[in-house]
Structures are given as C-alpha cells and as structure tokens.
Structure 1
C-alpha cells in the first residue's frame, strides 16, 4: 500500500512538473517577451494558445489567394512580378496595422518582423554571437539542416564557417568552373537530342532540369569521384525537402507525433544519414581528394571544441549535417534561381538577345572560363535582377540568444527576428517606381547604383552570416545562362501558370514550362 502511494505521488509530481514546464514555455515566457517589446512601443496581433497567430495567418492567406485568383482570371495572359503582397499577405496586413516593426507568433515561436531599413542594417551587420540562427531551424527543420552551418550559432557556427568558407573563396571557385561547364554541356546535348526528336521545338520543364543540373554540379564539387553517390543522396534529400515543406513550424510537440508525414520524414532522414556516412567510409578507404567533402572530414576531426569551448557535436553528426547544408544551399537555391532566370528571359526576349550577343562576343564559341565569366556584365545584371524579383529565400532569420540592443530597441532573449527579403527588394521607396518591373539595367553600376539603400538587396543574406557559397552560386548561374542561352532560345509555354509560393524556399507552384528551340 505504501509503495502504491509513493508511486502515485511520484506520478502526480511528474505531471505537475510537466504542467509547470509547459505553462512556462508556452504561456509565461512568450507573454513576458511580448510584454517587454510592447513597453518599447512594438505591437502585433494577439496570439492564441498553442497556435499563436497561425490560424489567423492561414485565414488571411486564404482570403488573399481567393481574391488574387479572381483578379488573375480577369487579366488572362498578364504576368505580374509584384507577388509578395499575395505570398506574404499576412505580413502586409500586420505592417499596415502595426507599423514597419511588429511582432506575431508562429505557434510557440515569438517573432519580431522588421521592415525599417535602419534596424535591418543593424541586424545584418551585427557581429555579436548573441545574435544567431533561430533554434527551431535545428529542431523543427532538424531533418533538413541539423546543426550545420545554416542552422547553428555561436562557437559551433564559427568553427563550421572557418572550415567551409575558405573552400568557397573566389580563387577556389575559379577552379570549379570546368566541372560546372562539363555538367551544363551534358544538359545541352540532352536538350539538342530532345528538340530534334520533337520536330525542332520542345516543351521543357525547366525547373525540373535545373534541379538535376544543379545536383550534378554540387555532387561533383562536394563529392568528387563519388558524385554518383552524391546524386543519390540529393535525390532523397529533394523528397525530404518536399515532405517537410508541408509541415508548419512552431507547433509544440508536432514533430514527435507519428503522423504519415512525420514517419516519411524520419524514414528519409535515416536513409540520407546512412548514405552520407557510407560515402565517408568509402572515402576514408581511398585516396584523399581535395573537395568540399574532404574539408568537412578534416573539420570534423577538430569538432570537439572551438578555442577551448566545447561544441557538443559528434564527428558523424558534424559531417552529415554539413553535407545536408551544402546540398540545401548549393543545389536547391541555384536551381530555382536558374529556372526563374529562364522564365524572365522568355518573357523579355530583348534581354535574351542581349545576353546571347554578349556571350558570343566574350566566348567566341568556346566554353566559358573564369576570366570570361568576369567579363559578362549583362549576364550578371540579369542574374542580379532575377535574385531581386525572385530571391531563393523569403527571410533573413535570427534569434536573440541573449538580450541584445539593436538601434534603440532591446530584443529580449529567445525572440526570433525576421527580415522579409522580397518585400524590401520590391519596395518602391527604395528601388524607384519600377520596383515591380524586370529591369536589369538598374544594376549597370552594381548594387550601390541600383538602390537608395544598398543593404536592402540581400538575396544571399548579409553581414557575417551572408551565404558562404555566393561566389560559387554566381559562377554556376553565369555558366548555366551563358551556355544555354547561346545554344537555345526560350519562349513561354501556354501551360505556364505564374504562382510564386513560399515553401522552404520561394518556388514556382506549378513549375516553369517553356518552349525551347535551337538558335
């Protein structure tokens, strides 16, 4: 009898402690954080228990989608690049209701959204390790990013950046141009064959082919002679990305429930992890190639601590998570940007002609090399304008790991910080009255000449957390555009439906289908 009472008391005590913990995490802490910001004049919609503002956000997005669908039917054949007010309707509403700095909740995640440029500059230029990546990236998005360079903070991030970034410096990227050219030439041959078999013009899902091409490029760059294995891994990773894009973030405990989606996520994550570790095992038994994978392996040897600070990550996890991050940053984003670029060139044939003429002048019929890429001013302008109108990522994300003062606002510890990239990159006050139009000419004198406040252009992020692979991405995009536009002409397929949506990245909801023929 006494044992039963003790057991029952222990169970009740555990339930009470769990309840207190959940109350603290889900109610007390969020309320305190919001209260501190409210005292500084920052407001936002009232959150509900557990879901925060998720239900309200869904309602706003649904209403906007319905109204924009009606408008689209009235303007058949018209393609507008002013898509952020539809894709980010909830942010537009909150900005109008509460001002350029406001807060809202995604489940248990408290977010301050910033569209005021002075504060945006402070966020992007901050070098303090007290400002890091949001913890939910390594939790809710853990199967995708883990604790790799894209999702980590503090000493772990500093160590990873020290290992990976030098391999992506401009001088290193120059040596990778040939592999980019080789991969793209394989696609050229495939398209030539397909066009010939289809009578001189082919209807091609450009976004799908760009994903395959970018996977081939990053596989060769990262995995060297093991790139065929790399492609296998990336194929699985693409499926994982698709499944995870359906899952909302911020709902407490959701990622632990054995739902159909979660079971698929767990299966794919396990398969990918095992495949990466098998490639690593094969590599350790063969000669060492100086590619990105080898640098990650060498970095893993010293992942016990960084300048005396324990990193609390195993060697295997360090390797697996950073391979995933390189795939995510170096494959998905490049593929999407290349696909948007071809869509824009199909819509604006005069720019397609200008790109083709420049490539023929610079390359004289030869495959491009690093020096030729540097001379491609028009190609660069087209890529920059594509990244402005259709940046791969929707947000710059940060989290206050301690209380931190930015400008005249004290951001409480645990608060998420969000800068909406597309909204700033299409702001007429910053870019002029043609902010919603495709005009690569605006970049004729670089980013400084394109925008009143150059820091509003951030397709690769900004400051110390800017994308380590931006030189790689720009070189890859220049190779792809220069080779394919010099060989083929692009026009819009009647099947194309313009609908940019925010998943994990900003993607064409219905794909990008173009008519392609040889020049």
Structure 2
C-alpha cells in the first residue's frame, strides 16, 4: 500500500510538472509565434502591412542586411544630401512596397512606423499620456544611463525639475566664457600647427575635445577636470552598446560570463566608481561652499543641483528630495555625458562638412559674424552677439534637418489606442523615423535633398508645411533638455572658427553618413583649414564679454 501511495504521488508530481511545462511552452509559443501572427492580421485588416514575421528574429536579419549593403558604398555624388536610402535603408526600401506606415518586427515585438507629422504631434503632445518611451536594450541603457532619457512618471518629472535650471539661458550665459575659452585654446593650437598654411584635421574627432570640456564644465563646474576620465571609459563602452543595438535582445544573455560581457561589466564598474568618487569630492566642496557664501554670479552646474536635491536643500517634499540618491546622480551624469557630447559634436561635425561643401554659405556666415561682431579683437562673443547671428542659426537648423543626430525615436503604446483612425494594441512600439520626416518632399518641397538654410528664414515652425516636420530634439514634454546648450555651444564654436579660418573638404574625405546609435561620418571628416588674417581692430580697449 505504501509503495502504491508513493507511486501515485510521483505520478501526480510528474503530471503536474508536465502540465506546468506544457503551459509554459504554450505561453512561449504564443509569445513567439501566435501573438505576432494575430497582431499582423489585426493591422492587415486595417490596410497596414510590412515584411513577414520570422520566428523569434522578426525582420531584424533583413534590416541589418539592407543597412550593411547600403553602408558598403559611399555617397555618389560626394556632395549629395539624399542620405535616407543609405542611413535608413530598410525604411526607404520597404516604404516603396508597403507605404510610409508599415509594420516591422524587432524580434517578436511589433513596431509601427509613423511618419505623418500630425500623428507625431498626437503621440508627443495631444495624446502623450497613451504612450511612453520604450525600454532600450540593456547595454544601450547601461551606456546612456537611467536618467532623464529613460525615467518615467513622477520620478522623471522631479529629476527634470531639479536639472532644468542648469539649462536656463541666463545660466548658460554664465558658462559661455568657459566654453569660449575651450574653443579659443583649440583654435590657437590649430593656428600654431598650420603656421599660415592649410592643415588637415578630422573634425569628427577634433570636436570631441570642445564638447567634452563644455559638458564636463556644465555637469561638474570646478570639478570638470576629474569628469573627463568618464568620457574615455564611455567611448569604450559605446562600442559594446553599438554592437548590441543591431541584434535581437535575448533575455538573460547579458548575464552570461562571455568575454564581451565581462569587459562591459568591468567598464560599468569603473564608470560608476569614478562618478561616485567625483560626487564625494563635490559633496565635501559643497559643504564648505554653503548658501551663505554663494553669490549670484556663480553658474549652476548639474552636479551641484543634484547634490542639493539629495540633501533636501531645495524647496521640495522630503520624499522627493530623498529620491535623488547617489545612484540617481550617477545615472543622470552618465546620461548627460553621453547624450550631450554625442549630439553637439555631431552637429558641429556636419555643420563644418556642409559649409566646406557649400563655400557660398560659408562666406555668407563669415560676413555675418564679422558684421555683427565688428573688427574687434574681442573673441568671447556675448549672448547678444550670438542672438544676432541669424544666418548661422539657419545653417545650424538646416544641418539638423538634413543630418539629425538621432535618426529615429521609439514610443510604446501603454494602452489600446486609436491613432489616425488605426487601432493600435497595447505594447505596440511606434517607430518615428525622424530622418524620413526631415527628408519628405511633401513637407519640405522639391529641393528637400538640397542644402538650403534660407528655408528657415522665418523660423523653424514655418520652414515646412507642418510645424511638427522638424523634430531634431524631439517634441513635447520630453524634448531634449540640453538643446539650448547644444545650439549655444555650436553657434559659439562655429562663429569663432569662421572668424579665424576658411575651410574646405580634404581630398581624402569620403561622404558616407551612417548610424552607430547616432548619425556619424563612417570614414571620418577630414577638413582642410586655412588661417585667415585677423580683421582690423575697431576697439582700442578690447575686453572679454560673458
């Protein structure tokens, strides 16, 4: 009897385990096969189709193949700005077959492309509560940090409120002399190397110095020298993230002790340790430099504001103040370092390339700089000077249109929602191809692939047929918090360069824009710089302006 009881218990246990295993397998099969099929049929009934779903990998293999094929050949002709077929080749090719609204599969996850500015405005503005930022690949998230870019809800709102004062124009004005000094130092070194002759510089690397200094100064104030070490570590980490960016996410894979994973873990620890040490040093300095000793002329840096928030010095509830932990500060620093540096250095690189390609606009911009600033020996241009550089502002906007740093962005439907008459199931990701919107002839006219800054003469909102057709920094509440800093830094840097140098493309330049998380020149950006004679001074007592 006892043996029968044991056998019966074992049989029940086996049956239960088998049922549980079968249930789990059914769920996996549903997630990897039946659910994608149901979603594809749901959209097909609404007239939306796309490349076929393949088990587990979706259409990633085809996407990567199209992008690799496109990136294997440089642009022809070399001054062509019709870069959409090269940079977003999968969208360009499939749009011809399925239309501008099509269904993609990133693994078993559906991604609906949305390139209509009116629907984009609905996603980011009028119905933004129905959508959220999607959760990026863990390695990408590790690089960009779990700061403002990835936070959601109340915590995101609090962090943005804490950090916002750093990017107010009045505060950035106080940072201008530091940014200007960095640019001038760079220019003086280039002038010495040139010795009156043309000198070749790869600006895609060269501008990293300017942006690193500006970002570390904005983030850490007087501690900026210590912050530079983090950039070197993040540059290594970016290589791992970029590789992961092209692959289907496999849950749990990042925890396997592969060589790449172990190298990535080591880098992450070093970055965290460097930032924690920096925060500790700055905390001590903040204790010594209390509120009573501060004066109004001091610029507010990110680290100082976050330390104040963590110590409860700001006017906020104790619960919210306590939420800005050391880990939070580390993550925000990582986010600002990565996003701030890459966005601004890319903008400077492509602006220089475009002005080298189009010397007539380079001359117009230089004439404006000399006219606005006069022949003064003064080099640190004031905010008032920069505000008057309308032509240069138009050039920067046209650069951001043709060569936006982020070529696409993604949102996720939090609930079942209707978008432009289409029923979008909860969990569907929405891919907004920023570059495709910026290169749409229906929005920008027949000269869409031409470099024509004059289209921004009446401002960005009126440059296209729809105000949401120009979104280099996003749209709505989650618009890039650092856009004022990026534009100010780019304008200041280009104004100083235009005063001191004429530049053209080096013979070795190969026009090959491509995507490595952000848009960048695949073979670098070698530019020939020729020093210009200094303009005659009309100011007998030049002085530096803030």
Counterpart contact for 1:223–1:230, Cα < 8 Å = yes
Q: What is the CA distance between 1:36 and its match in structure 2?
A: 3.6
Counterpart contact for 1:44–1:94, Cα < 8 Å = yes
Q: Please name the residue that 2:52 is paired with.
A: 46
Q: Please name the residue that 2:528 is paired with.
A: 515
Q: Please name the residue that 1:324 is paired with.
A: 334
Distance 1:18 1:276, change over 3 A: farther
Distance 2:437 2:412 in 1: 20
Q: Please name the residue that 1:251 is paired with.
A: 249
Q: What is the CA distance between 1:38 and its match in structure 2?
A: 3.3
**Map 1:151-300 → 2, pairs under 5 A:** 151-196=150-195, 200-247=197-244, 248-253=246-251, 254-287=253-286, 290-300=300-310
Long gaps (5+) in structure 1: none
Judge which range, 161-170 or 229-238, deviates more. Answer: 161-170
Q: Please name the residue that 1:114 is paired with.
A: 114
What root-mean-square deviation, in Å, do the aligned CA atoms of Structure 1 and Structure 2 show? 2.9
Distance 1:316 1:127 in 2: 34
Instruction: Count matched residues.
Output: 507
What secondary structure, in the 3-state scheme, does the structure 2 residue paired with 1:149 have? Answer: coil
Counterpart contact for 2:166–2:218, Cα < 8 Å = no
Q: Please name the residue that 2:413 is paired with.
A: 400
Judge which range, 248-257 or 483-492, deviates more. Answer: 248-257
Distance 2:365 2:144 in 1: 36
Counterpart contact for 2:101–2:113, Cα < 8 Å = yes
Judge which range, 148-157 or 48-57, deviates more. Answer: 148-157
Q: What is the CA distance between 1:8 and its match in structure 2?
A: 8.2
Structure 1 residue 359 and structure 2 residue 369: aligned? yes
Q: What is the CA distance between 1:444 and its match in structure 2?
A: 1.1
Q: Max radius of gyration: which structure? A: 2
Deviations 1:109-157 (A, max 9, x none): 32111122321221232453431110125x3522113421112222232
Distance 2:275 2:415 in 1: 35
What secondary structure, in the 3-state scheme, does the structure 1 residue paired with 2:243 have? Answer: coil
Counterpart contact for 2:114–2:120, Cα < 8 Å = yes
Deviations 1:332-362 (A, max 9, x none): 1100110111111111112111111111222
What secondary structure, in the 3-state scheme, does the structure 1 residue paired with 2:527 have? Answer: strand
Judge which range, 32-41 or 378-387, deviates more. Answer: 32-41
**Map 1:459-478 → 2, pairs under 5 A:** 459-478=472-491
Distance 1:309 1:402 in 2: 29
Judge which range, 317-326 or 250-259, deviates more. Answer: 250-259
Judge which range, 326-335 or 11-20, deviates more. Answer: 11-20
Q: Please name the residue that 1:102 is paired with.
A: 102
Distance 1:496 1:307 in 2: 55
Q: What is the CA distance between 1:202 and its match in structure 2?
A: 1.1
Distance 2:269 2:438 in 1: 38
Deviations 1:304-357 (A, max 9, x none): xx9999999782331121111111221111001101111111111121111111
Distance 1:51 1:61 in 2: 16
Q: Please name the residue that 2:538 is paired with.
A: none
Distance 1:350 1:300, change over 3 A: same
Deviations 1:64-121 (A, max 9, x none): 455x55x84xx5xx32110111221211122222222111111233211112232122
* Residue 418 (structure 1) aligned to one of 423, 431, 442: 431
Distance 1:295 1:314, change over 3 A: closer
Distance 1:60 1:283 in 2: 48
Distance 2:461 2:431 in 1: 24
What secondary structure, in the 3-state scheme, does the structure 2 residue paired with 1:380 have? Answer: helix
What secondary structure, in the 3-state scheme, does the structure 2 residue paired with 1:514 have? Answer: strand
Distance 2:172 2:424 in 1: 38
Deviations 1:169-195 (A, max 9, x none): 222222222221111111112111211
Distance 2:215 2:394 in 1: 24
Structure 1 residue 484 and structure 2 residue 497: aligned? yes
Q: Tell me the TM-score normalized by structure 2.
A: 0.86
What secondary structure, in the 3-state scheme, does the structure 2 residue paired with 1:240 have? Answer: helix
What secondary structure, in the 3-state scheme, does the structure 2 residue paired with 1:136 have? Answer: coil
Counterpart contact for 1:170–1:471, Cα < 8 Å = yes
Distance 1:466 1:119 in 2: 17
Counterpart contact for 2:139–2:240, Cα < 8 Å = no
Distance 1:452 1:380 in 2: 20
Distance 1:146 1:18 in 2: 33
What secondary structure, in the 3-state scheme, does the structure 2 residue paired with 1:489 have? Answer: strand
Q: Please name the residue that 1:441 is paired with.
A: 454
What secondary structure, in the 3-state scheme, does the structure 2 residue paired with 1:132 have? Answer: strand
Deviations 1:1-40 (A, max 9, x none): 9799699889878765764554454345444444443343
Q: What is the CA distance between 1:507 and its match in structure 2?
A: 0.5
Distance 1:65 1:472, change over 3 A: closer
Distance 1:376 1:349 in 2: 18
Q: Tell me the TM-score normalized by structure 1.
A: 0.90
What secondary structure, in the 3-state scheme, does the structure 1 residue paired with 2:200 have? Answer: strand
Counterpart contact for 2:310–2:323, Cα < 8 Å = no
